Structure 1
């Protein structure tokens, strides 16, 4: 287990207590704790823990590195176990977490294990905890929406590919590391029926990762998009994975905060996004998003911040877009700002709701089912005509 800690008091006390409470045999554990230049007693707390703990504990005290990547890489360099788990110093584990995760990896031969995460005074990812999965992958589950480092990784996988955290990134470094591990893994397991990890929101707002400015989010998006493009051939699977950086990392930069940004910041954000949109924004990504998400990113790609402001205002107000049904109810358009405006020139297809979004609206009929029915009827009519029968009864 690798614990990176910076100014972690008093949260570190409960974190370490959760390590001591693990039901797995202490002889099967090793803890490598890195104090990243703390001045609040974090280092002393780690040394006291090392002196009393039943499992072997190595404490490294170093000058502050500015982020979680450095301490985690130090820990990886010292790890000797079959698996590694990254525990943030302000979070805590469920008592059976390590025992369950190791058992899951051993049973299924998988290289990464996700244990259910629960937020404490903060939100936590939810969509991937529908059920426990012995073996899954990026394309048949929602694991791409949890890219934090708090997972069990088979150390042989990391060593084989020389995987380390990118210390040049000040945020999103864990997303890059975890996505690569998912892509290289021989299977991923999900434990959904037991809370393995408690993600704790600090009252002081401080965390191991420094928040930094908006430019860091673009750095993170750029790195993750490049990794996906480098490792996954162009096509449906790449588009599926690209949804994650577009939706989670890039789109928030063009949310409500965009309204209060200065003109200079708005311009800079559009400039930072431009090469990413040119390189990676594809119809296969766009059609996987909701209409308002797709519309905002389309306007970013078109570099139309003037039109984008109207859409962001509409979304922020939480208004329900009106629906326009066409083609006998099989096409549903959502009327967000500038719909069918000649001056704006935005294609209708940007406003076209995909079936999963359109189903919520009365009167919508899925085109695929209707098309199949119409084709079947036409086939019957042709057969009857060929045999000399009328079609009045059909």
Structure 2
């Protein structure tokens, strides 16, 4: 398999990164392709030193700075010869059995993408998708869409068949497009949750690549991901479930409570940048999959109502506890955030309805759940009527009913039965 390491100003983190590659239990079955993207801190020289001393076949490419991680990764893809490709950031490192476990999983399950459990070091890391190890998950109903970084095992045949490459014109979010396309167009996704495969390191100098990019670039990345989903998945419940990801981990992050402190020009730009995305991709199907406090912010943005958004953000910022209002025969819960029930606001009552497990006050303080949909059993009379209707379709009972002059269903059914021929068909 091929381990692709894109490196820019990576010292001293690169040392542990490459040590973790040499320590792999399947080191004898891998190659390393390391691309120095115009570093000035000795990264390139260290890569060449590593290549000269390691027993692992290593190719080193030194190039002018490309401005982002996409260029080095694409160079690595072009040079890779392994059955599988793993993208390893030069700041991070692997667990000793990581590659062996991931390759074994892909071979056993026949999947094209394998996610290995990630643990943060001096920083946070995604956690919701590591509930259990699974040879094959349903992308539409699992949490894997909440980890779209490139640090995963990909079958190289998939990459070449689809012509997958990282968009070098994007400065952030390029890995989300690559990974989501592999999820949706590949032959399956596996998850390893019982072993930490990848250690995601927070740099002391704060130069981690995911922190780069202004809000304009981030809107561009969110829009590109939404378009990719819409291009691959037809309208419906599956698309709605996928769209929750860019709306919540993407667009919503541009409208936090601190939005109120941003310069007015930035606030105006963000509302303008969000408007076409809301018109094109937002709808009731997506909205009902999101918690009320988050949904309301997006609904305000969709309406272009800064005044409503301000009131909701202040309410959230202050930690105000919304009243829980129950309505209807099934006692459907609504959360009375600002403008609940105000007809002139433009916000519908559905915007305030609890449709997914939610909470009020601090997280975990009080859980609120939508009413369970209980499928009622048919009454005996309704079951009899249903059987009679089925028998009508099966035996031509309608004609028998007419001949019987409107007698009871039981008598008509008996008449129809008696009138059918009993001998062999001609």
TM-score clears 0.5: yes
Q: 1:383 to 1:136 in 2, by over 3 A?
A: closer
Number of the residue aligned with 1:318: 319
User: Is the CA contact 1:335–1:351 (under 8 Å) kept in the aligned structure 2?
Assistant: yes
User: How far does residue 381 in structure 1 lie from its aligned partner after superposition?
Assistant: 8.7
User: How far does residue 209 in structure 1 lie from its aligned partner after superposition?
Assistant: 4.7
Q: 1:189 to 1:13 in 2, by over 3 A?
A: same
- For 2:230 and 2:253, the matched residues in 1 are separated by 22
- For 2:119 and 2:127, the matched residues in 1 are separated by 9
User: Is the CA contact 2:359–2:368 (under 8 Å) kept in the aligned structure 1?
Assistant: no
Number of the residue aligned with 2:16: 14
**Secondary structure of residue in 1 paired with 2:141:** coil
**Secondary structure of residue in 1 paired with 2:357:** helix
- For 2:210 and 2:275, the matched residues in 1 are separated by 27
User: Is the CA contact 2:166–2:175 (under 8 Å) kept in the aligned structure 1?
Assistant: yes
RMSD of aligned alpha carbons: 2.0
- For 1:106 and 1:364, the matched residues in 2 are separated by 41
Equivalences, count: 378
- For 1:73 and 1:245, the matched residues in 2 are separated by 24
- For 1:129 and 1:190, the matched residues in 2 are separated by 8
Unmatched tracts of structure 1, length 5 or more: 385-394
- For 1:339 and 1:21, the matched residues in 2 are separated by 58
User: Is the CA contact 1:329–1:365 (under 8 Å) kept in the aligned structure 2?
Assistant: no
Number of the residue aligned with 2:241: 240
- For 1:363 and 1:138, the matched residues in 2 are separated by 26
Which of 345, 350, 368 lines up with 2:373 in the alignment? Answer: 368
Q: 1:363 to 1:160 in 2, by over 3 A?
A: closer
**Secondary structure of residue in 2 paired with 1:191:** strand
- For 1:271 and 1:329, the matched residues in 2 are separated by 39
**Secondary structure of residue in 2 paired with 1:134:** coil
- For 1:143 and 1:217, the matched residues in 2 are separated by 21
Number of the residue aligned with 1:159: 160
- For 1:129 and 1:303, the matched residues in 2 are separated by 37
User: Is the CA contact 1:67–1:210 (under 8 Å) kept in the aligned structure 2?
Assistant: no
Matches for 1:8-157 after TM superposition, within 5 Å = 8-24=10-26, 26-157=27-158
Matched, 1:194 2:189: no
Higher Cα Rg: structure 1 or 2? 2
User: How far does residue 319 in structure 1 lie from its aligned partner after superposition?
Assistant: 2.9
User: Is the CA contact 1:87–1:150 (under 8 Å) kept in the aligned structure 2?
Assistant: yes
Matched, 1:3 2:8: no
- For 1:234 and 1:8, the matched residues in 2 are separated by 43
User: How far does residue 277 in structure 1 lie from its aligned partner after superposition?
Assistant: 0.6
User: Is the CA contact 1:7–1:42 (under 8 Å) kept in the aligned structure 2?
Assistant: yes
User: Is the CA contact 2:120–2:200 (under 8 Å) kept in the aligned structure 1?
Assistant: yes
- For 1:149 and 1:158, the matched residues in 2 are separated by 13
Matches for 1:252-331 after TM superposition, within 5 Å = 252-328=253-329, 330-331=331-332
TM-score by length of 2: 0.85
Number of the residue aligned with 1:185: 186
1:124-164 CA-to-partner distances (Å, cap 9, x unmatched) read: 11111110001123123211111000000000000011110
**Secondary structure of residue in 2 paired with 1:55:** coil
Number of the residue aligned with 1:231: 232
Of stretches 299-308 and 342-351 in structure 1, the one that deviates more from structure 2 is 342-351
User: Is the CA contact 2:288–2:356 (under 8 Å) kept in the aligned structure 1?
Assistant: no
User: Is the CA contact 1:6–1:208 (under 8 Å) kept in the aligned structure 2?
Assistant: no
With a CA cutoff of 8 Å and minimum separation of 6, indicate the structure with the bigger relative contact order: 1
- For 1:46 and 1:362, the matched residues in 2 are separated by 52
- For 1:47 and 1:213, the matched residues in 2 are separated by 34
- For 1:88 and 1:314, the matched residues in 2 are separated by 40
User: Is the CA contact 1:5–1:42 (under 8 Å) kept in the aligned structure 2?
Assistant: yes
**Secondary structure of residue in 1 paired with 2:68:** coil
- For 1:105 and 1:358, the matched residues in 2 are separated by 38
Q: 1:57 to 1:363 in 2, by over 3 A?
A: closer
Of stretches 104-113 and 342-351 in structure 1, the one that deviates more from structure 2 is 342-351
